[in-house]
Chain A
Amino acid sequence: MIDIVIDVTLLAFLAITAVATLHLTNLFAIVMLFGVFSLLSAGLFVVMDAPDVAFTEAAVGAGISTVLMLATLALVKRPQKPYYAEAPRAHRPWLPLVVVVITGSALVYGTWDIPGFGAPEAPAQTHVARYYIDNALQETGVPNIVTAVLASYRGFDTLGEVVVVYTAGVAVLLLIVGGAQKRRPGPGMRGDQMRPNLILHVIAKFVIPLIILFALYVQFHGDFGPGGGFQAGVIFSAALILYALVFGLDVAEKIIPSRWLHKLAALGVVIYAGVGVVPLLLGGNYLDYTLLGSTQVAGQHLGILLVELGVGITVASVMLILFFAFAGRARK
């Protein structure tokens, strides 16, 4: 019962936050509200029994994407006050309202046929999900079914996703890292460094090692508890982004030079794709980890660990590449 109450309350908060972001015109406030929106979402994912998703959403939504949006705001703010205001529209947006109301009504009509929330006999629970829950532990030796499905059963899918993340990182590099020297610095292009703050420095020094330790735990314990490469990668990069925010970009770039990150991002994809090739050479199918070990379970376990390591390396480095791309542009 308490689950339902929390679920109803958090969803209502989400709806209110969404409407508030629509109504506000100060972009800075909108971005901060979107961070709140993501944090509420992460809480809701925990209530809906999805701790893996909650980890990712908390680190990505409330951390990394908020930082990226703030960095963008610094780059695109207006030359005069108000810096972050959205320009008013000239016309009343009646047509969009009509479109949205009609689409929304059609969708609500569609929900009449959806089985109720949490119904155990719903079609979504009775097909392939049943198979995963019944057989994942025997076939892969990994108690966390999410990890087993992600890295083994749907390994091709995940390989594709990792390549997409890598490609997006490369595209951002091409868009806003090259060619920045030709531009003369305009108003608002100077990177406003954060003033040294003793409390922030002390707390950051205390907290960052713990976050990194937690990220490593999430990475290597992801087959037994909630976690895995995606979650660990974003938590790890969030720690380093926090470091760069508090101690300055120059110090952070000395610790992790950009050219390393570029190679590491590619290395993760190579590890993932390479682990897939090994069974191919041993006479099996691509990404069929069974042949990697003496028994099926040993092979699957080793394969999942390696693949998750590749995912973690790529995700962490791409997130850092994105952050350094935006922050570095703001500084130039």
Chain B
Amino acid sequence: MDFFIGHYNYWIVIFLMMVGLYTVISRGNLIKKIIGLNIFQVSVFFLYISLGTVEGGAAPIIAEGVEVYSNPLPHVLILTAIVVGVATTALALALVVRIKESYGTIEEDEIHNLDHSL
């Protein structure tokens, strides 16, 4: 039971990561691919934050009477990664908008067909 609780977070992280990866590989709609990529990304955030959690720890803000703190380093890496993540997602969405305007579709199969029929 302890082993299960101790590793449950990591298993869910892997599950989310694989759902994201599967969405990216198997779905042809570009918006859906981006959502899959985002799910993958959030699972990496959970991996880092889970690794930084300490049992009985408090948020890493020094306060009187608190002895144990969670690891601040993953928090730093992930909070910047979230903002960078939304900026790069916006870049991907902008590319999708341009693809739609050039090809008239955002389905991967149809874009391939259009490319080959030229």
Interface residues of A (CB under 8 A from B): 4, 7-8, 11-12, 14-15, 18-19, 21-22, 27, 30-31, 34, 37-38, 41, 44-45, 48-53, 55-57, 60-61, 64-65, 68-69, 72-73, 75-76, 86-87, 89-90, 93, 96-97, 99-101, 103-104, 107-108, 111, 114-120, 122, 124-125, 128-129, 132-133, 136-137, 143-146, 148-150, 154, 157-158, 161, 164-165, 168-169, 171-172, 175-176, 183, 224-226, 228, 230-231, 233-234, 315, 318-319, 322, 325-326, 329
Would you give the shortest CB distance from A120 to chain B, in whole angstroms? 5
Main secondary structure of the interface of A (DSSP, over half): helix
| Pairwise interchain contact A49-B83, C-beta atoms closer than 8 A | no
Which single member of B6, B23, B25, B49 contacts A99 (CB below 8 Å)?
B25
- Please list 23 pairs of residues, one from A and one from B, whose beta carbons are closer than 8 Å in the complex, sorted by A's number: A7-B9, A18-B39, A21-B23, A44-B46, A50-B75, A52-B79, A53-B45, A53-B75, A60-B82, A61-B42, A86-B31, A87-B109, A87-B110, A117-B10, A118-B55, A119-B54, A146-B72, A146-B79, A161-B84, A168-B87, A175-B94, A234-B83, A319-B86
| Pairwise interchain contact A114-B7, C-beta atoms closer than 8 A | yes
| Given contact pairs A18-B39, A100-B21, A168-B88, A146 touches B60 in the complex (Cβ within 8 A) | yes
Would you give the shortest CB distance from A165 to chain B, in whole angstroms? 5
Would you give the shortest CB distance from A55 to chain B, in whole angstroms? 8
Which single member of A60, A117, A325 contacts B9 (CB below 8 Å)?
A117
Find residues 100-118 in chain B having any chain A CB closer than 8 Å to their own CB: 100-101, 106-107, 109-110
A42 to B64, CA, bound (A): 26
Inter-chain contacts of A41 with B (CB < 8 A)? 42, 45-46
A18 to B24, CA, bound (A): 13
| Pairwise interchain contact B14-A22, C-beta atoms closer than 8 A | no
Chain B window 47-85, contacts with chain A (Cβ cutoff 8 Å), 1 for yes, 0 for no: 001111111111111110000111111111011111111
Inter-chain contacts of B27 with A (CB < 8 A)? 22, 86, 89
| Pairwise interchain contact A176-B55, C-beta atoms closer than 8 A | no
Inter-chain contacts of A89 with B (CB < 8 A)? 26-28, 109
| Pairwise interchain contact A168-B91, C-beta atoms closer than 8 A | yes
Inter-chain contacts of B7 with A (CB < 8 A)? 111, 114, 116-117
| Pairwise interchain contact B42-A329, C-beta atoms closer than 8 A | no
Would you give the shortest CB distance from B14 to chain A, in whole angstroms? 5
| Pairwise interchain contact B106-A53, C-beta atoms closer than 8 A | no
Q: In chain B, what residue has the closest Cβ to A157?
A: B80
| Pairwise interchain contact B10-A111, C-beta atoms closer than 8 A | yes
| Pairwise interchain contact A230-B96, C-beta atoms closer than 8 A | no
A315 to B87, CA, bound (A): 9
| Given contact pairs A49-B58, A61-B82, A122 touches B51 in the complex (Cβ within 8 A) | yes
A183 to B101, CA, bound (A): 9
Inter-chain contacts of B87 with A (CB < 8 A)? 164-165, 168-169, 318, 322
Inter-chain contacts of A136 with B (CB < 8 A)? 62, 72
A49 to B69, CA, bound (A): 9
| Pairwise interchain contact A128-B73, C-beta atoms closer than 8 A | yes
